[in-house]
Every structure is written in structure tokens, then in C-alpha cells.
Homo-oligomer: A and B are copies of this chain.
Amino acid sequence: MTDVILAGEPEARPRAQTEPEGGETPAFDVIELLFFAYRDFVRDPDEALDAYGFGRAHHRVLHFVDRNPGLRVTELLDILKITKQSLGRVLRELVDKGFVTQREGAADRRQRLLFVTERGDRLVKELHRLQTRRISRALGQCSAAERDAVRRFLFEIIDPQERAQVAELTGVEPPPARR
């Protein structure tokens, strides 16, 4: 099934053939671009977080708490799509080290509403700076219309049943109805 090989010349190795169309043409380029882009997109923050003994999981919590002050734990679980136990460890570390605080809900005293501290705010701002630098560089090559297209593309990659939540969180346009 694998046809031409040319084992001896790695430089001249041919790209695998696009197979004779059983269905849709595979979007190899976009699949790979998303992999490489995401890999590098999280690299800067990952390195910065290392200095605090934190990882990517801490970054996510910091980010969403910062963006949604007073977030409830249940809401955060629903955003991150991880289990309570996974979040537990990460959240405890952030609270212990003084990057996040918890406050009892005024209306419902079972709730532990989440807020970033002054210290957490400084860290999250630095992480935003790093990621924004990369994004601005990339969007800087685009017209306003193209920037919207990029946002629309990313939004459409998301599962349909999640889009309402994401639209709410990001402020990106809610779906204009579609097939």
C-alpha cells in the first residue's frame, strides 16, 4: 500500500499522496498548523510559570478567575472540563501560595467564590502580556475583516453545544444561525 520509498535520500523524501478522495480532502495543513501553533502558544507562559512551581493547569485557573471575578468552583469545572479532584490540587496550591482567594457566597453560603489576589493579578497580567505579544504579531499581518475571520474560524472549531458558553465568556458574537 505504501508505494514509493527512496529510503536512502532523506532530503528527497516525498510527501505521502493525497488519496483518491473517498470523502472530503483531508485538511493536513490546518491539522498540522493547529498542532504547531498551540505547541508554541503555550510555551512562553509555561516557562514563566516554572519560576513559581506552577504549570499549565494553574495558568488556566488564574486566567478564568481573573477574567470572571467571583467565579464559582462548579462554573470553573464546567469551563475547564476537568474533574473536581484535578482542580482541587491546583486550586489549593494557588490559594496556599496566595495567588487566589476564596470568599463565601453572600446569597448562598455553600459557595466559595474565587478571586485573584494582588499577587495573582500581577502574574496573570505577565502571562497575558506574553500571549498577547504573540497574537498581536500574528494578527498584525491581517486586515480587520481577516481578523474577524480568524475569530470566526476558531469559534466554529468549538463543539456547537459549547459555543453559547464560549460566546458568553469571550464576548465573541453568538452563532448567527447555521446549517
Contact = CB atoms under 8 A, between A and B. Distances in A.
A133 B2 CA distance: 25
A61 to B, nearest CB: 12
A33 interface: yes
Copies of this chain, whole number = 2
B70 A158 contact: no
A139 interface: yes
Which 8 A-B residue pairs are closest in the complex by CB-CB distance? A138-B156, A146-B149, A8-B107, A33-B154, A37-B157, A27-B135, A8-B106, A26-B128
A155 B37 CA distance: 7
A6 interface: yes
A41 interface: yes
Interface in A116-171: 116, 118, 121, 125, 128-129, 131-139, 141-143, 145-146, 149-159, 162, 166, 169-171
Interface SS, A side: helix
Interface stretch (A9-17, A47-55, A89-97): A9-17
A81 B39 contact: yes
A69 B16 contact: yes
